[in-house]
Amino acid sequence: MKDSQPIRWATMPELAIATPEGVLFRLPLAGPASRLYAMLLDMAIVLGTVNGIGLLIYRIFAKAPGFGVMVITLAEFAIGFAYGALLEGFWNGQTIGKRLFHLRVIDKSGLPLRIEQAWVRNLMRVFDALPFAYLVGGLSVLSNPLMQRFGDRVAGTLVIRQSPLVAPGEEFWTPQKYNSFMDYPTIAMKLRRAATPELASLIQDALRRRNELASYARREIYRELAAYLQAEISLFPDELVEMLSDEQYLINAAGVLFGDRRQSRVYR
Amino acid sequence: MILDLERFQTRAGPRWSSLESLLATIEGRPDRRLNPMEAEQLQELYAKAAVDLNRVTHGALAPELRQYLERLVARAYSELHYVPPTRSELWQPRRWLRIFTLFPETFRRQSRYFALAVLITVLGCTLGGLAVRYDPAAVDVLLPANYLRNPGQRVHEEEQAKNHDRHSTQSEAAFSAQLIRHNIEVAMLAAALGVTFGIGTALLLFENGVLLGAVAVRYTQQGFGLFMSAWLLPHGVFEIPSILIAGQAGFYLARVLLRRSEDRDVRQSMSEWLVLIAGTAMMLVWAGVMEAFFSQHHEPVLPYWFKVAVGGAELALLTVYLLLIGRRKTDAEARNFPAENK
């Protein structure tokens, strides 16, 4: 895992898929913790169901408790495996736990998984659960770049994070009626050309997370960023910079970087 | 930075939302079928979203928009390229009944792995038998349970029906369920251990063989050969072959994993593995029922020769089933697709 990357979505392990049409997209892989929580929830659901059915069966077999125990023992066993296999196979790669934790099992080519794959990965649990508490499966997840347990490796599947689709909403910087950097089109153009994608995302993140940061941290981060931009990339005139707070400096820079066309029109 | 994001989003937004709602409709169906109009629409919207994604990736700095489009394109891609199983495959009960012919067919097709499983078990049996025969000290190590070590005492108890409480139908039912469950778990483990390139499967089969050989020799040595045959055969003729078939599935899995290359379609091979496990489970259900309801009754109730005869009849039936069922069909298939069964 690449922990030191500045862009949030790149720090997660991903599956990159290049389609025949030449489109490249990435799917974020699920980590062991969320998978564990989902599994615990699923186990609770299975136990609850089995006990519910068990009570019913005890009532039905009140005069033949042995048969009651027989049915319960076998039902518990069958439900334990069939729950995961059938739900994943027929419900878009998700069990109830996986759906609540926004996880989904897919084929490793990015396609939905098939019912056979769902059965294989669930039957392989007997191996992944060895020697206790899914130790083998957990170690496999941690040691595999695609975060697969052995069941996933055999079935050719993997678990991805599938957070709900939210279309990006509002602009993240306060729209400015007048962006003073646009008074210096040459320098602004230089800033646009020189800014790397990482730097631009850094500015964007710093502004977006304004309210999450403690005030001293915000001051410090904004000061460093603005000083870096001013010194290394685009030298706006001192008389302009002196009038701006560091935050305003970054907001203006973001306006320049992310194509704030309206301001340039106002300027013209 | 080249792209005017705001204008871009305003213009492309509606088609993204219609792609989203189309995807939600398709994903809601269990068989994921598309009608021709939907397919055309999906193809068109997918192509446009893919172009949009490329533009955002190369022409703008908008991680969130990019992530949104990536997810959208990924979902559309998976629906577009997924070949759903035909309806008959999923919902026809006849397909589920096919397991009864598929199992012996698969068993015969992969019989060399069965031979390997038999070989390893026989090796274990021989070693266990020889150890007990020639090294009395080995008895304590190989046969941990007292009833295995002292057959005389056990036979006496069983024949006196000292374990009488076990023999009520009620407790037999509960006992059979535990047996079925435990045996299926062991069989599944043997099949799953194939993932260790078969080493785990081999060890499990070998250990099983050692125990079997040791018990057989110990009981025969002390003159309880007939009792033991009558005690073990009625369920053993299903239980032991089923563990061997589970071992066969394990070795088969190992082979599939060893020669798996990226472009190989593993779907067919995985189905065969599943069929073997399903067949094993069916056999073990029968074995569990026999073990609890039949095997535990001894001489005064059931004569030993009768129990042995029942075991022999079961074995004959199982052999016929595994070797002959579906044979004509397999031959016909082999004639039609000679390359497939190689």
B165 min Cα distance to partner chain A (Å): 12
Rank A195-199, A204-208, B315-319 by mean pLDDT and report only the highest: B315-319
Of A90, A167, A200, the CB nearest to B16: A167
For residue A200, pLDDT beyond 90 = no
Domain-embedded: residue B29: yes
Q: Of B61, B90, B119, which residue constitutes the final position of a domain?
A: B90
Q: What's the pLDDT score for residue A265?
A: 42
The Cα–Cα gap between B235 and B240 comes to: 8
Q: What is the pLDDT of residue A174?
A: 54
Mean pLDDT, range A56-69, rounded to an integer: 80
Identify the residue among A102, A165, A198, A208 best suited for mutation to test binding to B, counting B beta carbons within 10 A and taking the highest.
Answer: A165
Whether B82 and B110 map to the same domain: the answer is no
The ipTM, to two decimals, is 0.84
Number of inter-chain CB pairs under 8 A, A vs B? 146
On whether both B10 and B74 belong to a single domain, the answer is: yes
Asked if residue B221 is part of any domain, the answer here is yes
One domain for residues B80 and B106: no
Rounded CA gap, B119 and B108, in Å?
Answer: 17
Residues B31 and B137 in one domain: no
Q: Are residues B20 and B161 located together in one domain of the fold?
A: no
The whole-angstrom separation of Cα A146 and Cα A142 is: 9
* pLDDT greater than 80 at residue A5: no
Note down the domain range covering B197.
99-336
Tell whether B77 is within 8 A of chain A (Cβ).
yes
Q: Could you tell me if residue B27 is inside a domain?
A: yes
Nearest in space to A154 (alpha carbons), one of B338, B269, B112, B322 = B269
Q: What is the pLDDT of residue B187?
A: 92
Q: Identify the CA nearest to B163 among candidates B306, B295, B309.
A: B295
Give the pLDDT of residue B222: 81
Instruction: Find out whether A25 and B81 touch, Cβ atoms under 8 Å.
Output: no
Cα A1 to Cα A31, A102, A106, A144: the distances in Å are 11, 21, 21, 11
Q: Which of B39, B58, B90 is the last residue of a domain?
A: B90
Percent of chain A with pLDDT over 70: 87
Q: What confidence category does residue A32 fall into, taking pLDDT thresholds of 50, 70 and 90? A: confident
Q: CB-based contact (8 Å) between B10 and chain A?
A: no
- A-facing residues of B in 102-121 (CB < 8 A) are none
Q: Where are the beta strands (DSSP E) in chain B?
A: none
User: The tokens of A259 are what?
Assistant: 């194509």
Q: Is B342 part of any domain?
A: no
Do residue B199 and residue B252 come from a single domain?
yes
Residue B160, token pair as written in the block:
């006196």
Q: Which pLDDT band holds residue A166 (cuts at 50, 70, 90)? A: low
Q: How far apart are CA B142 and CA B212, in angstroms?
A: 10
How far apart CA B273 and CA B195 sit, in angstroms, is: 12
Q: Give A17's strand partners.
A: A25
Question: b or e along B238-264 (b: 16 or more beta carbons within 10 Å of the residue's beta carbon)?
Answer: bbbbbbbbbbbbbbbbbbbbeeeeeee
Which residue type is seen at A101? F
Which residues of chain A from 199 to 238 reach within 8 Å of chain B, CB to CB? 200-201, 204
B131 and B196 belong to one structural domain: yes
Same structural domain, B193 and B264 = yes
| Best residue of A8, A23, A261 to probe chain B, by most B CBs closer than 10 Å | A23
Query: Is residue B147 one of the residues assigned to a domain?
Result: yes
Same domain, B136 and B186: yes
Which residue has better confidence, A161 or B269?
A161
- Whose CA is closest to B27, among B79, B67, B71? B79
Query: Are residues B131 and B42 part of one domain?
Result: no
CA distance A120 to B274: 7
How far apart are the C-alpha atoms of B189 and B44, rounded to whole Å?
Answer: 47
Does one domain contain both B51 and B200?
Answer: no
* Residue B221, C-beta contacts closer than 8 angstroms, at least 6 positions apart: B132, B133
B61–A204: do the CB atoms touch at under 8 Å?
yes
3-state DSSP assignment of residue B255: helix
Same domain for B142 and B174, yes or no, is yes
Which of B90, B113, B129 is a domain's end point? B90
Closest CA to A97 of A35, A158, A50, A48: A35
Looking at residue B268, its pLDDT comes to 73
Selection from A170, A194, A212 nearest residue A253 by Cα:
A194
What are A199's two structure tokens?
A: 């730097």
Mean pLDDT value across residues A137-163: 89
Question: Chain B contact for A268, CB < 8 A?
Answer: no
Q: Hey, is the C-beta of A265 within 8 angstroms of any chain B C-beta? A: no
Give me the phi and psi of A66, to 5 degrees please.
-60, -45
In order, the DSSP letters of chain A are --TT-SSGGGSS-EEEEE-TTS-EEEEEBPPHHHHHHHHHHHHHHHHHHHHHHHHHHHHHTTT-HHHHHHHHHHHHHHHHHHHHHHHHHHTTT--HHHHHTTEEEEETTSSBPPHHHHHHHHHTHHHHTTTTTTHHHHHHHHH-TT---HHHHHHTEEEEE-PPP----S-SSPPPS--GGGG-HHHHHHHHHH--HHHHHHHHHHHHTGGGS-HHHHHHHHHHHHHHIIIII----HHHHTTS-HHHHHHHHHHHHTT-HHHHHHH-
The parts of chain B modelled with pLDDT lower than 50 are: 1, 88, 263, 337-342
Predicted pLDDT at B336: 54
User: Is B80 part of the contact surface with chain A (CB cutoff 8 Å)?
Assistant: no
Q: Residue B28 in 3-state DSSP?
A: coil
Find out whether A123 and B188 touch, Cβ atoms under 8 Å: yes
Predicted pLDDT of residue B291 = 84
B341 part of a folded domain:
no
Q: How far out from the chain centre does Cα B172 lie? A: 26
Q: In one letter, which amino acid is A1?
A: M
- A69 in contact with chain B, both atoms CB, cutoff 8 A: yes
Number of domains in chain B: 2
Residues in CB range of A229: below 8 A, 6 or more apart = A191, A249, A250, A253
